[in-house]
Structure 1
Amino acid sequence: MKDEQDYDLLIVGAGINGAGIARDAAGRGLRVLICDQGDLGNYTSSSSTKLVHGGLRYLEYYEFRLVRKALKEREVLLDIAPHVIWPLRFVMPHVRELRPAWMIRLGLFLYDNLGGREKLPGSRGIDLSVHEAGAVLDDELTKGFAYSDCWVQDSRLVVLNCQDAETRGATVLPRYRCTNAVRGDDAWQATLESTRDGSHRTINAKAIVNAAGPWVSRFLDGAAKVDDGRKVHLVKGSHIVTRKLFDHDYAYIFQHTDGRIVFAIPYEGDFTLIGTTDVAYEGDPASVRASAEEIDYLCAAVSRYFKKPVTSADVVWTYSGVRALYDEDDTENASALSRDYLLELDSKGAPLLSVFGGKITTYRTLASEAMTHLSHVMPVSDREWTGEAPLPGGDIPHGDFDRYLAATQQEYAELPPALVARLTRNYGTRIRELLAGVARVDDLGEHFGADLFEVELRFLQDCEWAMTAEDVVWRRSKLGLHLTPAQVERIDVWLGKNNEVSDDQAPSMASV
């Protein structure tokens, strides 16, 4: 019988890139272990602007290949995860002093056509004096453009990839840090340390994938003891959340005076999400916070456009993430650094594949290319499959979320409609697994505040590796925006009392 501690692939880092690679590799028959020092998607992957998009602004840097790849992926991801990814229409007010209208039209024409758009409506010019999105804007803004991209529940996308990887045989270990990796000719011996209780595991892997995100270089220099000369820049992106600034479903893309763009996006029903900044960062990526200067910058950027200025007093929450961006030209401007990725295979001994850069939209193609790289040094099936197989809960008939939601609303007519809508959006077809045996509100168990009940909390613990209140209210959901500190503390108490399954037995609720 094969040693349970032997794996084909150890993936260090359970952000979106690591999770995508774990899913792809497990589906090709590899024996996979993925670990992370924090929760799944704990850091950068839960701190994005929540967009699946081509990156309109990257056209200005002539990154046509990246934009085309991302636009093609936008269509694929809509197909495999229609519950956590959905279309979003953007409005760009035109300011003549910043960019001429012809340039914007040309950029939008390329954006419409580079990726073979099929599902989303194309761009068009709009009259802001009559368009509903113009009502909250400065009266001097009379002309604008509308185009399409997609919204994504970023940290849920990470969890879904890990769930599918586990279903296909992978071992998922959140809250386990790889502290040491000893390289042999044919395999690595790695030590994994629990960041919860300090316990250790020793495993063997034929190859390692370093998908540690902002820790990619630290892993090479530290645990793996591999010299690497890559130029990796750490860039902080911060976001602010305010009470909702408008009542419609359009998002805004604003051009700031420094040439950057800032988004203002409808968020969680009652809020507006504004971001992002691009600031060079040198500290610990786990301790990143939005600075007062970044908050003021974002407030000023959107206040140039809205009739009612936005100030720091309007901010109810902030979050920040650190991206590790590869730079071969030693670029000074953080905004100009490429969001494309680089995969580097080191085969001097047991293989080590490092992932530099990347963005949520292209995580699946990155994973596929990672498999191609690994196929040069180990047996890997050449079957590309991840673009056709729905992610957990994404097998919605014909990908028609609205029709599926109407059906679930009817099926669970005794439950609050808003609760059923949120659960359907978060879990897709898995809502029936979550609500098994539930017919009325009394069947939902303890109420923790907002619309969080015990039945969902137990599902998150048993099926989605949630171990703390923070996992639940800021990553598996954004219910933290609607809960009091006392209610969040009660969730932690409940999870602590009910977390009696050991890490070895837990099917899918560990944290790296």
Structure 2
Amino acid sequence: MDLFVIGGGINGAGMARDAAGRGLSVVLCEKDDLAEGTSSRSGKLVHGGLRYLEYYEFRLVREALIEREVLMNSAPHIIWPLRFVLPHSPEDRPAWLVRLGLFLYDHLGGRKRLPGTRTLDLRRSPEGAAIQDQYKRGFEYSDCWVDDARLVVLNALDAAEHGATVLTRSPCTGAWREDNYWRVETTDRLTGEKSAYRARMLVNTAGPWVTDIITRVAHARSTRNVRLVKGSHIIVPKFWEGANAYLVQNHDKRVIFINPYEGDKALIGTTDIPWEGRAEDVVAEEAEIEYLIAAVNRYFKEQLQRGDVLETFSGVRALFDDGQGNPSAVTRDYVFDLDETGDAPLLNVFGGKITTFRELAERGLKQIRHYFPNMRDAWTDSAPLPGGDLPDADYEAFMQSLKSDYPWMPVELRQHYGRLYGTRAAAIIRDAHSLDGLGEHFGGTLYAAEARYLIDKEWARTPEDVLWRRTKHGLHLSEAQRDVFADWFRKGHYQAA
């Protein structure tokens, strides 16, 4: 084969998709589930990174803003516009500086589809109704929401549909250079089955484990390194009216996102804390939870309590170590390290962010093009992701067509299928003419037909893969309902249909 890609997060899935679509033979392996690490534990945003302007990351912000438009077109079912309200606190950044940053944010990336910034009188605007009275002025600007885990899965799915092999829960247990090739071994953690591959090039997109792959697995070296930074989020019941999100400035100059989530909930984050332990062990600590609650309570009339926290999650960002002391100032840019020892190249990827994954893959393949002279040209900038081929990228028109095609379907279920699967929803519904046709109902909007689709088509191999990464059903089911579904899954009842 041509490429063996280690790491099934957003960068690895994006690299596998781009390469497979250019005609290269590709295998992607992931030690856990797709997106189980950092890529499912983000703030769920496709954004330029407004706060990066403060660290003079103008090129990174510009490129991310350009990519924001590209990704909106490629996956309008899982990426959609979101308006952010930023209450101004005179104690932190001056208003003129905030307005200047928002002006640059509006114009750096050639914004076409999203509305621009506006100034708000929080005492009169509906967006200010939830904000404490001392905050009189605010700003509103645009960015985008993304279902981060589904973005990873859809890239892997597109890679597979272009011929790539995708292996989940199959860590790379060893890689050795032999005769200008790599001999690579994997072990399936669920079955114990070992597999061997021969690849022209190894691509290391292992995120927090990138240096471990270099030294322990590939027996190589690199002068570059990553810096691990922990980011934690909390989920609470939604406590304001309207579809907008909020961005608040904290006393320590960090900004906190407060986003509508899963209809009736709010996602709040993130923290930025240096992390020196194992990435697998990361959890949201009480001090972080209290920090996020305090940041919200500084601005909002409704005061959150610890008991309001429904769920927490934490992830480790593997940032390229540029020597900055402040974790918030460490660059979110990415760096390639190409090791061409023995004419068996190893491409290591350091850093990166969800918004720039497609461009990262495109630039990475440009770096190694001389090894694959027959590789086709770049293609992903105008190609929809699976389910994203909506006519004119018009999600509302698509939802109207779903209503016409399936008038028996409750609106909540229609919205669920539309948002997660887009035009692929038909592959779940198939010939069903009623809810009974979707099979066993586990609660909420989870029916057996969807679980079977995720198992058959999207590499769901455990109940958690379905409940927490392919979907967010886990947030909407009781513990007893989750147990019933897990029992159904583990007993293989999905094979009976």
Alpha-carbon distance, 1:288 to partner: 1.2
Q: Does the aligned pair in 1 maintain the 2:23–2:376 contact within 8 Å? A: no
- For the residues of structure 2 that align with 1:437 and 1:106, how far apart are their CA atoms? 54
Corresponding residue for residue 240 of structure 1: 234
Matches within 5 A, 1:348-359: 348-349=341-342, 350-359=344-353
Corresponding residue for residue 199 of structure 1: 193
Corresponding residue for residue 426 of structure 2: 432
Q: Does the aligned pair in 2 maintain the 1:188–1:207 contact within 8 Å? A: yes
- For the residues of structure 2 that align with 1:129 and 1:175, how far apart are their CA atoms? 53
Corresponding residue for residue 4 of structure 1: none
Q: Which one of the candidate residues 311, 319, 322 is aligned to 2:316? A: 322
Alpha-carbon distance, 1:184 to partner: 2.5
Corresponding residue for residue 115 of structure 1: 109
- 2:466 corresponds to 1:472: yes
Alpha-carbon distance, 1:228 to partner: 2.0
- For the residues of structure 2 that align with 1:224 and 1:82, how far apart are their CA atoms? 38
Corresponding residue for residue 339 of structure 1: 332
- For the residues of structure 2 that align with 1:174 and 1:242, how far apart are their CA atoms? 31
CA displacement, residues 406-449 of structure 1 (integer Å, 9 cap, x when unaligned) = 11022111111110111011100011111111111111110011
The residue identity in structure 2 corresponding to 1:397 is P
The residue identity in structure 2 corresponding to 1:297 is Y
**Structure 1 pair 499–359 and aligned structure 2 pair: CA distance change class (3 A):** farther
- For the residues of structure 2 that align with 1:257 and 1:290, how far apart are their CA atoms? 21
- 2:256 corresponds to 1:271: no
Matches within 5 A, 1:21-420: 21-328=15-322, 330-349=323-342, 350-379=344-373, 381-420=375-414
Higher mean C-alpha displacement, 429-438 vs 148-157: 429-438
- For the residues of structure 2 that align with 1:227 and 1:30, how far apart are their CA atoms? 26
Alpha-carbon distance, 1:136 to partner: 1.0
| Aligned partner of residue 119 in structure 1, secondary structure | coil
The residue identity in structure 1 corresponding to 2:222 is D
The residue identity in structure 1 corresponding to 2:70 is V
Q: Does the aligned pair in 2 maintain the 1:243–1:270 contact within 8 Å? A: yes
Alpha-carbon distance, 1:197 to partner: 2.7
Alpha-carbon distance, 1:227 to partner: 1.9
Corresponding residue for residue 444 of structure 1: 438
Q: Does the aligned pair in 2 maintain the 1:138–1:305 contact within 8 Å? A: yes
Q: Does the aligned pair in 2 maintain the 1:467–1:499 contact within 8 Å? A: no
- 2:38 corresponds to 1:9: no
Q: Does the aligned pair in 1 maintain the 2:84–2:244 contact within 8 Å? A: yes
- For the residues of structure 2 that align with 1:65 and 1:256, how far apart are their CA atoms? 26
| Aligned partner of residue 257 in structure 1, secondary structure | coil
- For the residues of structure 2 that align with 1:120 and 1:141, how far apart are their CA atoms? 26
| Aligned partner of residue 195 in structure 1, secondary structure | coil
User: Which 5+ residue runs of structure 1 have no aligned equivalent?
Assistant: 1-6, 502-512
Q: Does the aligned pair in 2 maintain the 1:238–1:275 contact within 8 Å? A: yes
| Aligned partner of residue 222 in structure 1, secondary structure | helix
CA displacement, residues 317-363 of structure 1 (integer Å, 9 cap, x when unaligned) = 000111111123x2221111000100111111201000100000000
The residue identity in structure 1 corresponding to 2:471 is S
- For the residues of structure 1 that align with 2:448 and 2:243, how far apart are their CA atoms? 31
- Aligned pair count reads 494
- For the residues of structure 2 that align with 1:382 and 1:430, how far apart are their CA atoms? 27
**Structure 1 pair 298–179 and aligned structure 2 pair: CA distance change class (3 A):** same
| Aligned partner of residue 459 in structure 1, secondary structure | helix
The residue identity in structure 1 corresponding to 2:324 is T
Relative to the length of structure 1, the TM-score reads 0.95
- For the residues of structure 1 that align with 2:155 and 2:93, how far apart are their CA atoms? 39
Higher mean C-alpha displacement, 472-481 vs 369-378: 369-378
- 2:482 corresponds to 1:491: no
Q: Does the aligned pair in 2 maintain the 1:467–1:495 contact within 8 Å? A: no
Q: Does the aligned pair in 1 maintain the 2:452–2:494 contact within 8 Å? A: no
- For the residues of structure 2 that align with 1:50 and 1:499, how far apart are their CA atoms? 33
Q: Does the aligned pair in 2 maintain the 1:374–1:380 contact within 8 Å? A: no
- For the residues of structure 2 that align with 1:197 and 1:404, how far apart are their CA atoms? 41
Corresponding residue for residue 510 of structure 1: none
- For the residues of structure 2 that align with 1:438 and 1:467, how far apart are their CA atoms? 25
| Aligned partner of residue 387 in structure 1, secondary structure | helix
CA displacement, residues 441-461 of structure 1 (integer Å, 9 cap, x when unaligned) = 111110011110011111111
Question: Alignment RMSD, CA only?
Answer: 1.2
Alpha-carbon distance, 1:499 to partner: 8.1
Alpha-carbon distance, 1:185 to partner: 4.2
User: Which 5+ residue runs of structure 2 have no aligned equivalent?
Assistant: none
The residue identity in structure 2 corresponding to 1:425 is R
Alpha-carbon distance, 1:206 to partner: 0.5
- For the residues of structure 1 that align with 2:296 and 2:494, how far apart are their CA atoms? 48
Higher mean C-alpha displacement, 27-36 vs 230-239: 230-239
Relative to the length of structure 2, the TM-score reads 0.98
Corresponding residue for residue 507 of structure 1: none
The residue identity in structure 2 corresponding to 1:347 is E
| Aligned partner of residue 365 in structure 2, secondary structure | helix
The residue identity in structure 2 corresponding to 1:94 is H
Q: Does the aligned pair in 2 maintain the 1:235–1:322 contact within 8 Å? A: yes
| Aligned partner of residue 176 in structure 1, secondary structure | coil
Alpha-carbon distance, 1:89 to partner: 0.3
Q: Does the aligned pair in 2 maintain the 1:469–1:489 contact within 8 Å? A: no
The residue identity in structure 1 corresponding to 2:370 is H
Corresponding residue for residue 504 of structure 1: none
| Aligned partner of residue 392 in structure 1, secondary structure | coil
Q: Identical aligned pairs, as a percentage?
A: 52
| Aligned partner of residue 376 in structure 1, secondary structure | helix
CA displacement, residues 43-84 of structure 1 (integer Å, 9 cap, x when unaligned) = 100000000000000000000000000000000000010000
- For the residues of structure 1 that align with 2:409 and 2:86, how far apart are their CA atoms? 39
Alpha-carbon distance, 1:133 to partner: 1.6
CA displacement, residues 85-105 of structure 1 (integer Å, 9 cap, x when unaligned) = 000000000111111111111
